[in-house]
A and B are shown apart, each in its own frame.
Chain A
Amino acid sequence: MKATFSFWLDFIREAFRGGKLFYLWMTLLTVVVFLGFAAYIRQFQHGLIVSGMSDQVSWGVYISNFTFLVGVAAAAVMLVIPSYIFRDEMIKEVVLLAEGLAVAACIMCILFVTVDLGRPDRIWHMLPFVGEFNFPQSLLAWDVFVLTGYLFLSLTIPYYILFVRYKGGEPKHNVYFPGVLISIGWAISIHTVTAFLLSSNVARPFWHTAILGPRFLASAFSAGPAFFLLTLKFIRRYTDYPVSEKIFQRIAIIATVALQINLFLLFAEIFTEFYHQTDHTASALYLFFGIGGKTALVPWIWSAITMNVVAVLILSIEPLRNNSRLLSVACVLMVVGVWIEKGMGLIIPGFIPTPLGEVFEYSPTLIEVTVSAGIWAVGLIIYTLLAKAAIAIELGKVRYKKLP
């Protein structure tokens, strides 16, 4: 009990201790959070009318960010898979950090869904027993269920490991390993369920395809590790946590293969849509070329494809990949590319044209952008704090001191 209490005390102390740069970073993020919060208050008062959404395009950047972040959330555990299958010791070192990222991404996901609600005051209607949880009928209910479960797992496993380390012990393999196995399955499920959330809609031919699930997995395996790799570079530069060069290479390979598969699946989809065009091609047509002079998404998707292709070229050519700077560039391209492709490029064209054939465009408003930025800032704050404390404990800087 005492140990738990002192663990939390030390954890929080470590999380908030830092140099000038740290405080600058945190202040910056806090400002963004406040801006986002102010924008959200406005949305809360006036209703979602302040967004760019409409009856025609009824989901926008909020849900787009949500689908992207589900991928990032799962990425953590994606890294665990090779580390356990191939008895890869290296990746174990950074798995804790990856779990921290998973926690942050999960919380961002939940926030993005919440700000998208028309009646956030009624969110308790989703609680089982107290409310009416439409489980297992509604895929959205499934999504809420798997996401909270995943958040719980990503919190408990690292907690156990850190706590044991804190007390100066070695975490027991047969205690946390079953947990890790469960969370591997769970990580795949948060993806699959989110993909099914979209692909189950017969009303939306753009999503109603079996390839959506695999594409989700592939893009998550690419953008997630890429994002993580970037944060590791940051950590290596600004903390004394040792991240070996081999780890970067390992993660880069995972991301490369996943991105290659992702591009292949995208190609397969484009081919099927366009070789013989049907009514169902309309959304893809709108996305890639625009319909009737309405072309809002065209520059987005082509820049996404360009980014992904450049990234895959850099990553697939070994000398280029081994260049640390180029690797960072490729990762940034990949994260942004997948963010567009899986967010704006997947959610929004699903609504255009509407089921009654109307082409009505969407673009986010300043309020939506500010709220989204605020949520990203919340996520980055959480990740920063978790990573800092975890690093301090891992490095053995803080240990439980038994009082005499």
Chain B
Amino acid sequence: MTENLKNNSNQVSRRSLLKKIGVLGTTGAAAATGVTLAAQVVEKSGQEFSDSLDSFFQKHYRRMSPEEVQVTIARLQRKAKRKYNKDISIDTAPPLPVTLFGYALNISKCKGYRKCVDACVEENNQGRDTQIQFIRVLEMERGSMNLEESNHYYDPETVPQKGKFYLPVQCMQCENPPCVRACPVKATWKEDDGVVVIDYDWCIGCRYCMTACPYWARHFNWNEPHVPPEELNPVTHYLGNRPRSKGVMEKCMFCVQRTRKGKQPACMEACPTGARIFGNLLDPESEIRYILENKTVFRLKEDLGTEPKFWYFTD
């Protein structure tokens, strides 16, 4: 019915239309546009409604079938589109075979520029208002390893300072992670490549994992995180840097969206001094293996038995 009216009004010239059906025609056309608009609105909000219903019932990532994963990804993309008006990709690449990721950091090279911190925020879509940073660089007194004397809020413009050294800390991807054991709903787990990940859509926000982590590596979205759309990194991974919501936990996941594609993590790429060495611990040819075998390395709080896969070394 409305379709007919629309067609008619297109066929008949405007003038004769006004003459012939006069007010009736215009009302009809207006009504037609109104109805289509309303239908669109209904369809859109209907979609939004069914999306939010589906996200309420969304399963644990590891329990989804491949089809369910696809449906979920499509829905998450729609959600990101609504929030940021931007198309994003959400990768689900599994761990690479025979891979165990590890990191080594040369503290004699690190000068405390915090370039890694900024690159990480850009890469991983942390909320700009929530100001979450996965990496914390501590300014330490030379001659001491006492973290309580470290300065967390030094000014990167003035580094390096005399008598200080710099100690970046981030998630150590522990082999024996207390955070994973703590989680009451298995929202966080260790993948086969040794990376501890979080299903942001399964986390209930109890923050027990945060209490359990000895490296202060976990960060919580105390409010709804916002990223300016132009700054949003659209290349994401489900377990990595996809947009998060309020009330959930997040942390460094060794840039799974990059490293599972053979790329370097963003922090390593950004480091101007080359202090950071990332690699596959199972590959005897890798640089990180060379460092572990030939340099004097140490790990932070090794006595706690969490088996961090993050080493520090000096030249």
Contacts and interface: CB of A to CB of B under 8 A. Distances in A.
Interface stretch (B26-34, B42-50, B207-215, B290-298): B207-215
A132 interface: yes
B25 interface: no
B204 A138 contact: no
B150 A356 contact: yes
A61 B149 CA distance: 28
A379 interface: no
Given A118-B246, A138-B183, A138-B184, A58 B220 contact: yes
Nearest to A351: B211
B147 interface: yes
Contact of B216 (A116, A120, A201, A355): A355
Interface in A124-146: 125-126, 131-134, 137-141, 144
A140 B216 contact: no
A47 B146 contact: no
A357 B215 CA distance: 10
Contacts of B150: 356-358
A134 B184 contact: yes
A55 B219 contact: yes
A315 interface: no
A48 interface: yes
Nearest to B245: A119
Contact of B204 (A53, A125, A357, A359): A125
B206 A122 contact: no
Contacts of A48: 205, 220, 222-223, 247
A39 to B, nearest CB: 16
Main secondary structure of the interface of B (DSSP, over half): loop
A279 interface: yes
B215 A356 contact: yes
Interface string A337-364: 0000000000000110111111100000
A155 interface: no
Interface string B117-156: 0000000000000001000101000000011111010000
Given A47-B247, A202-B304, A118 B169 contact: no
Contacts of B152: 356, 358
Contact of B221 (A47, A203, A356): A47
A176 B132 CA distance: 54
A119 B205 contact: yes
A49 interface: yes
Given A118-B221, A119-B203, A356-B169, A134 B215 contact: no
A57 to B, nearest CB: 10
A161 to B, nearest CB: 34
Interface string A46-67: 1111010111001100000000
Contacts of B149: 357
A202 B306 contact: yes
Given A47-B246, A49-B222, A355 B215 contact: yes
B84 interface: no
B146 A139 contact: no
Interface residues on A, range: 35 or more
Interface string B183-199: 11111000000000000
Interface string A85-126: 000000000000000000000000000010011111111011
A133 B246 CA distance: 22
B212 A201 contact: yes
A204 interface: yes
A46 B216 contact: no
A51 to B, nearest CB: 8
A355 B249 CA distance: 17
Given A48-B222, A356-B150, A357-B146, A201 B211 contact: yes
Contact of B181 (A133, A137, A353): A137
B56 A201 contact: no
Contact of A55 (B148, B220, B246): B220
Nearest to B188: A134
Contact of B222 (A54, A138, A203): A54
Interface of B: 56, 60, 63, 132, 136, 138, 146-150, 152, 169, 178, 181-187, 202-208, 210-216, 219-224, 246-249, 301, 304-306
Q: Give me the 5 closest cross-chain CB pairs, A-B, nearest first.
A: A118-B205, A118-B247, A357-B147, A203-B214, A357-B148
23 contacts: A47-B221, A48-B220, A51-B222, A53-B222, A55-B210, A117-B205, A118-B207, A118-B249, A119-B205, A122-B202, A125-B185, A125-B187, A125-B202, A126-B185, A132-B63, A132-B185, A132-B187, A134-B183, A134-B186, A138-B208, A139-B208, A201-B178, A355-B147
